[in-house]
């Protein structure tokens, strides 16, 4: 029923209780989507940052070892 509502193909003959239940389900879907976006953003930021720190550490140690 939720998929039909999203596609705007179902008639809106719903009781107040049913509308409230659909709203609750839709909010849960939005929460899942926002959690996924947070995880993706964390990956995009942390992976290059850790690579940059590793490179700085590598070249610092390498610079100390060279005469």
Q: How far is Cα 8 from Cα 3, in angstroms, rounded to an integer? A: 9
pTM higher than 0.85 for the full model? Answer: no
Sorted by sequence, the CB contacts under 8 Å of residue 26 that are 6+ apart come out as 2
Residue-wise pLDDT for 26-39, tens only, equals: 877 777 777 888 99
What is the full DSSP assignment across 2-39? Answer: HHHHHTT-S-----HHHHHHHHHHHHHHHHHHHHHHHH
Residue-wise pLDDT for 5-17, tens only, equals: 667 655 667 788 8
């Amino acid at each position: 029923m939720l998929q039909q509502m999203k596609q705007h193909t179902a008639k809106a003959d719903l009781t107040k209780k049913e509308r409230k239940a659909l709203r609750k389900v839709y909010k849960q879907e939005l929460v899942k989507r926002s959690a996924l976006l947070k995880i993706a953003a964390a990956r995009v930021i942390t992976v290059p940052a850790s690579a940059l720190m590793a490179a700085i550490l590598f070249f610092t140690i390498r610079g100390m070892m060279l005469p």
